[in-house]
Homo-oligomer: A and B are copies of this chain.
Amino acid sequence: MEPLGRRRWIIAEGYIPSESTGFDAAMISHETVCLLNTGDEDAHVRLTIFFADREPVGPYCVTVPARRTRHLRFNALEAPMRIPRDTDYSSLIESDVPIVAQHTRLDSRQPPHAVLTTMAFPVD
């Protein structure tokens, strides 16, 4: 398979609500970046998180194996720093091979939940 997409993507929106009313892990308020690597080599991905009032934090390093998707929750990022809740952020996604990135949020502050999505913006 051929690697498809771009090497650098940006998601300008970012906000993880601290509250949830969900009944299980799937219903915890969360933000996700869905990464697809169609190629035959693993994608080594570095995320940098930008904030409104402090220097960017990163890189967060993840691997998307060859011919795999990875739906990565921003909630789950721990090193170099957990992403604070109820806080505006943006993210830059850099990969050593072409990938495709899509942004999703599930917001369960009030039941039932609300959802949103958009393709990330390619910047290379």
Contact = CB atoms under 8 A, between A and B. Distances in A.
Given A4-B92, A109-B112, A117 B13 contact: yes
Contacts of A27: 109
Determine which residue in A13, A53, A112 has the highest number of CB atoms from chain B within 10 A of its CB, and name it.
A13
B123 A12 contact: no
Main DSSP-derived SS at the A contact region: strand
Contact of A90 (B36, B86, B90, B119): B36
A112 B17 CA distance: 14
Contacts of A84: none
Interface string A1-44: 10011001011111101000000001100001011101000000
Interface residues of A, number: 56
Contacts of A10: 4-5, 36, 38, 100
Contacts of A26: 17, 86
A101 B12 contact: yes
A50 B71 contact: no
Contacts of A17: 26
